[in-house]
Amino acid sequence: MDIFFQILGHNMLPIFILISLGFLLSRKFNLDIMTLSKLNFYLFTPAFVFQNLYIKKIPPEMIKVFICVAVFMLINYLTGTIVAKIRKYDTSKANAFKNSLMFYNSSNIGLPLITLVFSGGAFISNGNNPYLNIAITAQIMVMVLQDITVNTVGFFNGGRETMHWKDSIKKVLNMPAIYIIILAFIFKMVPSYDLTKSLIWPAIIYIKDGLIPISLITLGVQLSKISINFKDKEVYLALALRLVGGPIFIFCLINIFGFQGVIAQTLMISSAVPTAVTTALIAVECNNSVDYSTQVVVNSTLFSSLSLVIVIFLARILFPI
């Protein structure tokens, strides 16, 4: 029980304090969500991804992580398709439902949460924290796949009747993460030049360090723009499959792929984060079940404050380090 409350206080409370601050500040000053989103999307996240990919060694096992997450998303897609047919959803709602299961908040909540979970003193040995490096690298693999697919498959699902496939390609080509990943690997292949000793490296570090607080505050601002409704039963079905079904599916895949320790914990915790806010933005842009999508995002974020504590607790028991 002590571990349970430790997780709640040290891992979850800081996250929801920052989200609450963003929510309250937005209600007070009506903060511009588009500006904050662009700062996250084009500045803080690329700097974080670049810095971590450049300085960290990426073991071959991370390719397995990438494949595992891809299979996990496919399972969620098939689950969403089957359930939507059983529930007799129309095409619009069925696609919104599938998006709510496939795409989760791996950046705004997943990355800060993984960072906090593996930053504790219990993981530090001789002043170093090798577990944090492994966990962040694994989470970046999750983020990369999620970012690519939500801007392709996500938009295709959201606007199947109105959006041309070329629009999805344009969305991908506008993603800074793709170019940042390529750039990081190019610099890694030039051993004669150490970018960490360059004049721009301190600036990259400063920007990278701002990702966690700014991304969580941004999420709070996004939630402040949405009205909350607890009456739609279909929303709770999506929540159950996202917050409970996700960890169950990934637990099976973790054992199939043979992951253990830090990577296994990271994948299980990451699988339990709420539905990505991007799915609501896609619904708005494509005029596709907007109210349903936004309610899933809001409610999954609220209920995850409890479910994530349980999943973190179980991950530590099931996959000890």
The better pLDDT of the pair 173, 163 is held by 173
What was the pLDDT predicted at 84? 94
Find out whether 111 and 142 touch, Cβ atoms under 8 Å: no
Dihedral angle over CA of 37, 40, 42, 47, nearest 10? 180
pLDDT of residue 122: 54
The predicted pLDDT at position 291 comes to 80
Q: What is the pLDDT of residues 186-210, one digit of tens each?
A: 998 887 888 999 999 999 999 988 8
| CATH architecture under which domain 2-318 falls | Up-down Bundle (1.20)
Q: State the average pLDDT over residues 128-151.
A: 84
Q: What percent of the chain has a predicted confidence (pLDDT) above 90?
A: 38
pLDDT for res 71: 97
Is pTM beyond 0.85 here? no
SS (H, E, C) the chain: CHHHHHHHHHHHHHHHHHHHHHHHHHHHHCCCHHHHHHHHHHHHHHHHHHHHHHHCCCCCHHHHHHHHHHHHHHHHHHHHHHHHHHCCCCHHHHHHHHHHHHCECHHHHHHHHHHHHCCCHHHCECCECHHHHHHHHHHHHHHHHHHHHHCCHHHHHHCCCCCCHHHHHHHHHCCHHHHHHHHHHHHHCCCCCCHHHCCCHHHHHHHHHCHHHHHHHHHHHHHHCCCCCCCCHHHHHHHHHHHHHHHHHHHHHHHHHCCCHHHHHHHHHHHCCCECHHHHHHHHHHCCCHHHHHHHHHHHHHHHHHHHHHHHHHHHHHCCC
Structural domain spans, the chain: 2-318
